[in-house]
């Protein structure tokens, strides 16, 4: 039976403008970093994507190296896109990235024009797309001139292979420099994708100020610290958890779950309960409270986690007392 999207999918999801652009993104977007590789269940991946779109999540975020193995998340998405989402292409914002090691030799990593152009061609083929909506440089490359890397992004837009471009994991200073180069080329930087959570707040030390001042969108990844900011690890490490899976590809390992962090998680959970939320919902709401945030990337392993995440949108405001209590738990961070 062919997939038909929920006709009420836009009814409840709020959409936020991405910086000073014309593009609107859902408050929550779906990341395919984990759980969409060749080692994962295809029908589970399909169910997650369908439920996300049925719930108003129009933005799916990938990268060339997502899997495992590298490239397989794009292949999985391509299969499901062909079967279920091709007729909805104009309702989707699909992004991918390049910047980490993807293939052997000197041309399969970092930030050269050679790598970025070739990688996107491969990504489009794996996903069965003519273009992506957003193409990112995945990380700074200090050994390639910024003018070359940003020039490659500009070229890709002019070739029609991407509508917009962005950067990921660039510092505040690096971001300012990238914005300046792109502005000079006539292709604006649409969005920045940094790691950001209650336990990883580096973006507060200048990056968010730059993005707000320059009118650049922000789409944080790992908002739940790969599951640590949930109820999952309150009583140890479950056998079916990400930390116990040893799946690689940047996934969290057991040594990231320290007694000090669990102590903070327990205290944060108490505040979440008092707000009528679970900890994951509060962690998402805590990021969304900042109007410089366009959308937050969620990563899920089963469809029910999509619904649970969306329920955070019922309460994204915090009292001054709640913010102070959270601050006292988190600092020093």
Average pLDDT, the chain: 94
The predicted model gives 279-288 an average pLDDT of: 98
The predicted model gives 264-275 an average pLDDT of: 96
CB-hemisphere CA count at 13 Å for 57? Answer: 25
Is 56 in contact with 9 (CB distance < 8 Å)?
yes
pLDDT in tens, 120-135: 999 999 999 999 999 9
pLDDT in tens, 85-104: 999 999 999 999 999 999 99
* pLDDT band with cut points at 50, 70 and 90 for residue 247: low
Where does residue 86 fall: left (phi above 0), alpha (psi -120 to 50 degrees), or beta otherwise? Answer: alpha
Do the domain assignments include residue 250?
A: yes
Say which CATH number the domain at 286 has.
3.20.20.100
Cα of first residue to Cα of last residue in the chain, in angstroms, is 50
The predicted model gives 202-212 an average pLDDT of: 98
pLDDT at residue 300 tops 70:
yes
Nearest to 132 by CA among 164, 84, 170: 164
The gap from C-alpha 90 to its chain's centroid, in whole angstroms, comes to 20
Vertex 254, ends 74 and 283: CA angle to 5°?
A: 70
Do the domain assignments include residue 270?
A: no
Do the domain assignments include residue 4?
A: no
Quote the number of domains for the chain. 1
CA distance linking residue 204 with residue 172, whole number of Å: 10
Do the domain assignments include residue 324?
A: no
Do the domain assignments include residue 288?
A: yes
Do the domain assignments include residue 115?
A: yes
Is 134 in contact with 190 (CB distance < 8 Å)?
yes
* pLDDT band with cut points at 50, 70 and 90 for residue 333: low
Give the least confident one: 48-57, 68-77, 122-131, 253-262: 253-262
* pLDDT band with cut points at 50, 70 and 90 for residue 240: low
pLDDT at residue 49 tops 50:
yes
The predicted model gives 292-304 an average pLDDT of: 97
CA distance linking residue 327 with residue 182, whole number of Å: 36
CA distance linking residue 137 with residue 167, whole number of Å: 5
The predicted model gives 68-96 an average pLDDT of: 98
Query: What is the dihedral angle through the alpha carbons of 319, 324, 326, 327, rounded to the nearest 10 degrees?
Result: 140
Residues 6+ apart with CB under 8 A from 327: none
Q: What is the DSSP letter of 240?
A: T
Do the domain assignments include residue 299?
A: yes
Is 165 in contact with 202 (CB distance < 8 Å)?
no
* pLDDT band with cut points at 50, 70 and 90 for residue 244: very low
CA distance linking residue 298 with residue 277, whole number of Å: 17
Sheet holding 189-193, edge to edge: 217-218, 189-193, 162-168, 132-137, 93-98, 59-61, 28-31, 296-298
CA distance linking residue 247 with residue 36, whole number of Å: 12
3-state secondary structure of 116: helix
The predicted model gives 160-184 an average pLDDT of: 98
Do the domain assignments include residue 329?
A: no
Domain with 71, as residue range(s), is 15-256+280-317
CA distance linking residue 225 with residue 229, whole number of Å: 6
Query: What is the dihedral angle through the alpha carbons of 174, 19, 218, 164, rounded to the nearest 10 degrees?
Result: -80
């Amino acid at each position: 039976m062919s997939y038909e999207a929920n006709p009420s999918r836009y009814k409840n999801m709020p959409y936020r403008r991405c910086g000073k652009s014309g593009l609107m993104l859902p408050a929550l977007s779906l990341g395919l970093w984990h759980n969409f590789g060749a080692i994962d269940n295809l029908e589970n991946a399909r169910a997650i994507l369908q439920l996300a779109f049925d719930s108003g999540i129009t933005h799916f975020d990938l990268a060339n190296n997502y899997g495992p193995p590298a490239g397989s998340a794009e292949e999985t998405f391509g299969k499901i896109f062909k079967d279920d989402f091709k007729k909805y292409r104009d309702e989707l914002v699909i992004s991918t990235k390049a910047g980490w090691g993807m293939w052997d030799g000197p041309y399969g990593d970092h930030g050269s024009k050679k790598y970025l152009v070739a990688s996107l061609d491969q990504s489009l083929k794996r996903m069965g797309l003519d273009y992506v909506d957003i193409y990112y440089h995945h990380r700074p490359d200090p050994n390639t001139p910024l003018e070359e890397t940003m020039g490659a992004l500009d070229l890709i837009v002019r070739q029609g292979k991407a509508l917009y471009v962005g950067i990921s994991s660039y510092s505040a200073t690096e971001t300012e420099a990238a914005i300046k180069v792109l502005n000079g080329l006539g292709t604006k930087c649409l969005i920045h994708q940094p790691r950001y959570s209650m336990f990883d707040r580096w973006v507060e030390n200048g990056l968010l100020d730059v993005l707000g001042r320059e009118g650049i969108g922000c789409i944080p990844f790992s908002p739940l610290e790969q599951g640590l900011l949930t109820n999952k690890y309150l009583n140890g490490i479950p056998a079916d958890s990400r930390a116990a899976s040893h799946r690689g590809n940047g996934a969290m390992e057991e040594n990231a779950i320290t007694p000090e962090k669990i102590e903070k998680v327990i205290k944060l959970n108490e505040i979440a309960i008092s707000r009528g939320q679970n900890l994951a919902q509060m962690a998402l709401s805590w990021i969304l409270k900042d109007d410089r945030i366009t959308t937050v990337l969620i990563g899920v392993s089963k469809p029910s986690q999509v619904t649970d995440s969306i329920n955070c949108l019922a309460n994204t405001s915090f009292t001054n007392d709640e913010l102070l209590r959270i601050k006292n738990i988190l600092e020093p961070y």
